[in-house]
Copies of this chain bind each other. A is one copy, B any other.
Amino acid sequence: MIEEKENIQFELTDDLIANVELLVSKNDDKALKKLLNEFHYADVAEILDELNLEDSVYVIKLLDSETTSDILTELDEDVREKILENLSAKEIAEEIEELDTDDAADLIAELPEERQAEVISNIEDDEHRDEITELLTYDDDTAGSLMAKELVKVYETWTVAGCLRRIRGQAKEVTRVHSIYVVNKQEKLIGRLSLKDLIVAKSDHKISDIYKDSVDWVNVDDNVEDVAKVMAKYDLEAIPVVDNNQTLLGRITIDDIVDVLKEEADKDYQMAAGITGDVDSDDSIIELTRARLPWLFLGLVGGVGAFLIMEGFHEAFEKYALLFFFTPLIAAMAGNVGVQSSAIIVQGLANDDVKGSINSRLIKEMLLAALNGTILAIFLFLFVWITKSSFTTALAISISLIVVIIVAGLIGTFVPLFLDKRGIDPAIATGPFITTSNDIFGILIYFWIAKLILGI
């Protein structure tokens, strides 16, 4: 029984994929089953992501639905969609039977609407079907959309011994027992117990004597991000979900929250880079264009704005051509400072640690920008003065730079705070949005001040 493994890390090699393809082409079901059953379902999903559709469907139909149901949940969304198109409603229903209610509901929700009802009607277990149907009614982004109906529930009137006996029955259905939830006769959540508490307790004790009434819970309509924050803050591995009457409806486990956190982080990262719509590097050129082009178009409009401003100052050009050669520097600095300021605020808002008033934030950012701006302006001043031997021009450009950096920092700080107050996701404010607006404001301010100082 002892078998030492070389490494936990599964490696997806070209050889492995070629081997699977070969076995499929030879219809060598026995060898194929033997090979794939050695791997974790998440690893098999990675293999299937690389196969062509026909081969993937072959593998899915070959393996037991106990395994394939888990594989399906781990596939790339695009791949899963195509495989499901190639399965009958009855076959999909068989996969669904094996899944926990939350994964089952997620899978059904991805199907085209007309297939959903057909698949649901093919689910044989009445309770499972009703539970999945209930889960499908909750909105995306709510606790209800994340919860599973599987949980271990005991009544406060039970004894420890009776409890253990009944839990043996319930627990078989539940992959992981995190907490045992205690309810009263009206099915209202009143407390919790750990399996450990139950094992340690004397068998003739009543649940009402030993349960903990300090139980955290979320409402079924609570926002998913709030649920994630609560679970991360209190280090919870599972949290019960209740309705407005405190009736126990389900539970959310930490693995779903890990996925939520990753998705959130990916989304914010992409937003800051000017990409919308949750794409990844393997998506098609059309999908990637749809995600990227709108933000580039915003940049184009901003660039045309900058053009118009510079054209407006073109008379200054004859005497002070130098000024125009520094516009990319000014635009870059305005953009960089804006992105830095907004990123810090967006992150602070996400982590709930932006305290104090907007005014105090703005004053702090102004001092910070003034300090950074002055240091940078000294270098720029020396460069221009030494290479161009024009004290006034060097002074005009440097002072403009300081003002541009301060304004850029203020815009970068103010915009996300303002959006957040208005209930808009402040993450939208980082990246191209801030860069573009700061480019325009920066160039405008730069020419105004330079003109003022040089008396053009």
Which of B200, B299, B302, B348 has a CB less than 8 Å from the CB of A168?
A: B200
Contact check, A307 vs B285: say whether CB atoms are below 8 A apart. no
Contact among B3, B262, B340, B431 with A261 in the assembled complex (CB-CB below 8 Å): B262
Residue pair B255, A235 in contact (C-beta under 8 Å): yes
* A452 CB-CB contact with B under 8 Å: no
- Which residue of B is nearest A176, CB measured? B237
Does more than half of chain A's interface fall in helix, strand or loop, or is it mixed? helix
* Bound CA span A50–B353, Å: 11
- Whether the pair B435, A343 counts as a contact (CB closer than 8 A) is no
A254-B237 contact, Cβ under 8 Å, with A314-B321, A335-B335: yes
From B9, B270, B383, A347 is in contact (CB under 8 Å) with B270
Contact residues of A between 258 and 302, Cβ < 8 Å to B: 258-259, 261-262, 265-266, 268-270, 272-275, 279-282, 285, 288-289, 292-293, 295-297, 299-300, 302
Interface residues of A in 218-250 (CB under 8 A from B): 218, 226, 230, 232-235, 237, 246
Please tell me if A42 contacts chain B, counting CB pairs below 8 Å. Answer: yes
Q: Does A54 have its Cβ within 8 Å of any Cβ on chain B?
A: no
A430 CB within 8 Å of chain B: yes
Complex contact A353–B280 (CB within 8 A): yes
Known: A273-B430, A307-B326, A347-B270. Is A2-B379 also a contact (CB below 8 A)?
no
Given known contacts A339-B274, A376-B300, is B288 in contact with A306 (CB within 8 Å)?
no
Contact B293 A380 (CB under 8 A): no
B8 pairs with A282, CB closer than 8 A: no
Residue A167 CB within 8 A of the other chain: yes
- Copies of this chain, tallied across the complex: 2
| Complex Cα gap A255–B435 (Å) | 36
Shortest CB–CB separation between residue A373 and chain B, in angstroms?
9
Chain B CB within 8 A of A117 CB: no
Distance in Å: Cβ of A28 to nearest Cβ of chain B: 25
A367 within 8 A of B: yes
Q: Are A208 and B1 in contact (CB under 8 A)?
A: yes
Q: A190-B1, A340-B273 are in contact. Are A332 and B303 (CB under 8 A)?
A: yes
- Contact check, B246 vs A232: say whether CB atoms are below 8 A apart: no
CB-based contact A199/B200 at 8 Å: no
Residues of B within 8 A of A337 (CB): 292, 296
Complex interface residues of chain A between 1 and 47 (CB less than 8 A to chain B) = 1-4, 8-9, 40, 42
The interface centre, meaning the residue of A164, A273, A299, A344 with most chain B CB atoms within 10 A of its CB, is A273
Select from chain B the residue with minimum beta-carbon distance to A214: B40
* Contact in complex: B344, A325 (CB < 8 Å): no
> Within the complex, what minimum Cβ distance (angstroms) separates A266 from chain B?
6
Task: List, sorted by A's number, 26 A–B pairs whose CB atoms are closer than 8 Å.
Answer: A1-B190, A1-B213, A8-B216, A9-B226, A50-B355, A168-B199, A177-B194, A237-B237, A266-B351, A272-B273, A282-B353, A289-B372, A292-B372, A293-B375, A296-B333, A296-B372, A299-B333, A306-B332, A310-B325, A327-B328, A332-B435, A332-B436, A335-B335, A335-B435, A336-B435, A339-B431
Q: Which residues of A contact B (CB under 8 A)?
A: 1-4, 8-9, 40, 42, 50, 164, 167-168, 171-172, 176-177, 184, 190-191, 194-196, 199-200, 208, 213, 216-218, 226, 230, 232-235, 237, 246, 254-255, 257-259, 261-262, 265-266, 268-270, 272-275, 279-282, 285, 288-289, 292-293, 295-297, 299-300, 302-304, 306-307, 310-311, 314, 317, 321-322, 324-333, 335-337, 339-340, 342-345, 347-348, 351, 353-355, 361, 364, 367-368, 371-372, 375-376, 379-380, 383, 430-432, 435-436, 439, 443
Pairs A-B, 3 closest by C-beta atoms:
A303-B329, A273-B343, A265-B265
Extra inter-chain contacts (14) besides given A164-B199, A307-B326, CB under 8 Å: A2-B190, A3-B213, A232-B258, A235-B255, A280-B344, A285-B364, A295-B340, A304-B329, A307-B325, A311-B322, A328-B328, A332-B335, A332-B435, A339-B431
